[in-house]
Amino acid sequence: DSGVTQTPKHLITATGQRVTLRCSPRSGDLSVYWYQQSLDQGLQFLIQYYNGEERAKGNILERFSAQQFPDLHSELNLSSLELGDSALYFCASSVGVAGGMNTEAFFGQGTRLTVV
Amino acid sequence: LAKTTQPISMDSYEGQEVNITCSHNNIATNDYITWYQQFPSQGPRFIIQGYKTKVTNEVASLFIPADRKSSTLSLPRVSLSDTAVYYCLVGDGGGATNKLIFGTGTLLAVQP
């Protein structure tokens, strides 16, 4: 158990709908990262927050948005869903900005989104 | 962020030592090298991190030559449960823009 909690674990929804994925980071971690992983695209970085502020953006679609709340949990909002948005969405957290010395990122188990 | 290059896949047999090499020719002075492991439908898991020379923990060793343009993850005596994708990342975790980018990774297939 990484200590990162993602809900829901599975989500099935129709095209055109909007969903919200939730992530609770490990206690004490200030950074939250969101990733999308589909079969043909690998692990794609979407966005990073640090202590409530957006810090880095990847190839996140305009239909997607995220935020990190004062209690440090984060939500990823996906709207106007398309079939191609079906994927595993992972959240990760780290104490600081991961990648440097002793700043590993801990990943949740992911939310599997299926758009039908 | 420095780009990394790894083999797409590797095959091994149980009990063998596996070495996965990652090239990172443009690594910056402050960059660390970090390896993650990912099983199907699970989030990546940190394996090991290093800056130079050799680092060893309970699951793997990481060898980094003096020029730091490459690194080698060594898994001793692999088992079937080591079948996974292994990612090499480089970054310094500094500033506000570390995107923690994962490349394509190396799919290690361990056979009996």
Buried b / exposed e over A59-73, threshold 16 CB at 10 Å, is ebeeebebebeeebb
Which residues of chain B neighbour A90 with C-beta distances below 8 Å? Answer: 43-44
- Coil, strand, or helix at residue B88? strand
pLDDT in tens, A54-97: 988 988 999 999 999 999 999 999 999 999 999 999 999 988 76
**What is d(CA B3, CA B54) in angstroms, rounded to the nearest whole number?**
21
Say whether residue B6 is in contact with chain A using an 8 A CB cutoff: no
**Does B97 score more than 50 pLDDT?**
no
Q: Give the mean pLDDT of A104-114.
A: 94
Question: Which pLDDT score, from 0 to 100, does residue B96 have?
Answer: 38
Say whether residue B98 is in contact with chain A using an 8 A CB cutoff: yes
**What is d(CA A31, CA B28) in angstroms, rounded to the nearest whole number?**
23
Question: Which pLDDT score, from 0 to 100, does residue A13 have?
Answer: 98
pLDDT in tens, A33-55: 999 999 867 889 999 999 999 98
Say whether residue A93 is in contact with chain B using an 8 A CB cutoff: no
Question: Which pLDDT score, from 0 to 100, does residue B104 have?
Answer: 86
| Residue B31 confidence class, pLDDT cut points 50, 70, 90 | confident
Question: Which pLDDT score, from 0 to 100, does residue A100 have?
Answer: 63
| Residue B18 confidence class, pLDDT cut points 50, 70, 90 | very high
Give the amino acid at B59. Answer: V
pLDDT in tens, A21-32: 999 999 999 999
> CB distance B101–A105 less than 8 Å?
no
**Does A98 score more than 70 pLDDT?**
no
In the numeric block, the tokens 């305009």 are attached to A62
Which residues of chain A neighbour B96 with C-beta distances below 8 Å? Answer: 50, 55-56, 97
